[in-house]
Amino acid sequence: MIAYLNGEFLPKAQIAISPEDRGFLFADGLYEVVRSYDGRLFQMEAHLARLARGAEHLRFQANGYGDLGDVCRQLLEKNDLTTGDALVYIQVTRGAPSVRAHPFPSAETPLTVYAAARAFDPLRERQTTGLTVMLLPDQRWARCDIKTVGLTANILAAQQAQENGAAEALLVRDGCVMEGSYSSFLAVREGVVIAPPLTNYILGSISRQVVEAICRREKIPFRAQPIYQNRLAANDELMLTGTTLEVTPITHVIGIDRQWAPGPVTRRLQEAFHGLT
């Protein structure tokens, strides 16, 4: 497999990253996961825009990471991934200065830029049958809108969900369901698609943006408003959306005495989403 590091394409096995890298030492970095459908990178511009926004918030050197759209396209070609389903992973960190210290390293320290592509199995049957999820406290920091590689709280939640037979965790803060550990959360009530408000406690999900655009196009009402944990059972449909899950129905929430069948709005959104990919 050919991967990319700091301007070079190399066999992945030859890639070495310094133990001084601030991604390794501090999780001082950003990442993106981009989906490719038969060689076409879905929503690449939106992923790059989110990365640029994160870089601005973290005060990375302005565009210190080059044209990553082109890097991703080359990775697909070099790894024979121009047909079928694939994922490209991108990570940018604040580089590898010689001394570990919390404040930023000197301005000349180059960012570390890594990217790799791999074939991906979208497990489409989950989109047909739906998933079980588990409610868990949201223990993340107060800047969940920045897609940093500091994912410990997400990992612990995902693991706990898996150990309880759920495919994803639903993270709850102050009584409200915010999102999943690796996906966004949406509900449908009386024909309205409801999504948690985009605050600093939630990632600006690109798949959710796509769903919102589909709703606009198809005249399905879409509203950003809090989704309360204790009123989850009153929703007609629940779903997850994300780069890897696309649009996937939720059929069961552990601890809630109700089963949901994948509903008509979810099915419409799924179909329209596939139409776009």
**Stretch (H or E) spanning 215:** helix 206-218
Q: Which residues touch 59 (CB under 8 Å, ≥6 apart)?
A: 104
Length of the chain: 277
CB of 223 to ligand PLP, least distance (A): 19
- Of 3 and 30, nearer to ligand PLP (C-beta) is 30
CB of 5 to ligand PLP, least distance (A): 22
CB of 207 to ligand PLP, least distance (A): 3
- Distance CA(256)–CA(261), nearest Å, equals 14
Q: Which residues pair with 262 in a beta bridge?
A: none
Q: What distance lies between CA 162 and its chain's CA centroid?
A: 18
For ligand PLP, the binding residues (CB under 6 A) are 33, 154, 179, 182-184, 203, 205-208, 242-243
Q: Are 68 and 90 in contact (CB under 8 A)?
A: yes
- Of 17 and 198, nearer to ligand PLP (C-beta) is 198
Q: Are 99 and 193 in contact (CB under 8 A)?
A: no
Residue type, 58: L
Helix residue spans in 11-102 (DSSP H): 22-26, 44-57, 68-78
Residues involved in catalysis: 147
Q: Provide the token pair at 201.
A: 């406690």
3-state secondary structure of 80: coil
- Distance CA(93)–CA(78), nearest Å, equals 24
- Of 191 and 197, nearer to ligand PLP (C-beta) is 197
- Of 14 and 152, nearer to ligand PLP (C-beta) is 152
CB of 203 to ligand PLP, least distance (A): 4
CB of 233 to ligand PLP, least distance (A): 23
- Of 95 and 243, nearer to ligand PLP (C-beta) is 243
